[in-house]
Amino acid sequence: MKTYRTKGNIIFDVIIYVVMIFVLLICLVPFLYMLAVSLSAPKAIINNEVSFIPVGMNFEAYKQIFSYPNFFKAYGNTIFYTTVGTFISLCMTTLFAYPLSKHHLKGQKIAMKLVVFSMFFSGGLIPNYLLISSLRLTGTRFAMLLPFAINQFNLIILINFFKSIPNEIEEAALIDGLGYFGILRRIIVPLSKPALATIGLYTAVFFWNDWFNGLIYLNTDQFPVMLFLRNIVNGTSMLGDAAGSADKATIAISIKSAVIITSTLPIIILYPFLQKYFVKGLTVGSVKG
C-alpha cells in the first residue's frame, strides 16, 4: 500500500529520530567511556588522554578482578539469585494473575484493590525487616528470593494480557474436558510468551542490580556481585592492592570501570534476545481489559 508523507509527518519523524539518537548517546557514551578507561594504561588515565577509545591497551584491571577470590563467588551468587528469583517470580506471578483475570471470580475486585493499594503504600523498611526476620529468612538466600517474588506492576501487566486472550479458546478447552490448571499450562502460558518474556527481563534486571537487600538480609559469603561492586566504589574492598604505589588511585578508577563492565555486560547481552517481545508484551498487557 502506497503511503503519502506530508511535511508535518516528515518533521515529526525527524524530531523522533533526534530524540532517540540523543537518548541513545546518553546511555551509550558513559558505557563506552567506562570501557575505554578499564582497558587503558594508568599513564593515559592520569594524563586525561582517554575518551572513548582505549589508550595503551592494558588488561591489568581485569586481571586483578579475576584474581580477587570473592568476585567469582559473588558473581555466582548473583547468577543464582537472578535465575532462581526470576523463575520463582514468573511462576508465582502467573499463578496469581490468572485467577485475577477472571471477572466471575468472587472477590476479584477486592483482591485487585488490595494489589493496587499495596503498590502505592508499602510497609516500609523496618516492618519488612521484622517480617522477614520473623519468618526466619534472614541469613538465608531465600531472603533475596521470596519477599520480592511478586511485583504489583508486573502482576497488573500480566492480568491485562490474560484478559486480552479470547474467552472462546478457554470455553472450547473446558468443553473438551481440560481443567483450569491444564488451560493455564497448555494454552494461556504458551500464548503469553511476549508478556512473560517482558516481565522476566524486568525481574531479572531487578535481581541482577539489587544490592541493598543483600546488605540487610544476607551474610558476607552470600553477597551478590553488585554489593561487591558497591564495596569497591566506596573503597572498603582491597582496592588496587596489587599496586601499592603512587598511581594506586588511578588503578582504582580502572578497577571500578572494569567491575562495572563485567557486572553489567551479561544483562546487556541478554537484552537483545528479549527485546522483540517488548512491544507486544508491554503494550497489550498495559491496555485495560
**Span 2-31, pLDDT tens digits:** 566 788 888 888 999 999 999 989 988 888
Angle, vertex CA 202, rays to CA 122 and CA 156, nearest 5 = 55
Cβ contacts of 55 within 8 Å, gap of 6 or more: 36, 40, 41, 44, 49
Q: How many CA atoms lie within 13 A of 109 on its CB side?
A: 2
This prediction has a pTM of 0.77
Per-residue b or e along 68-81, where b marks 16 or more CB atoms closer than 10 Å to that residue's CB: bebbeebbebbebb
Hey, what amino acid is at 88? Answer: I
Q: State the Cα–Cα distance between residues 99 and 92, nearest whole angstrom.
A: 12
Hey, what amino acid is at 134? Answer: S
- In the chain, which stretches have pLDDT less than 70? 1-4, 233-251, 275-289
Is 135 strand, coil or helix? coil
Find the radius of gyration of the CA atoms of the chain: 24
Query: What pLDDT shows up at residue 282?
Result: 60
Q: State the Cα–Cα distance between residues 33 and 19, nearest whole angstrom.
A: 21
Hey, what amino acid is at 124? Answer: G
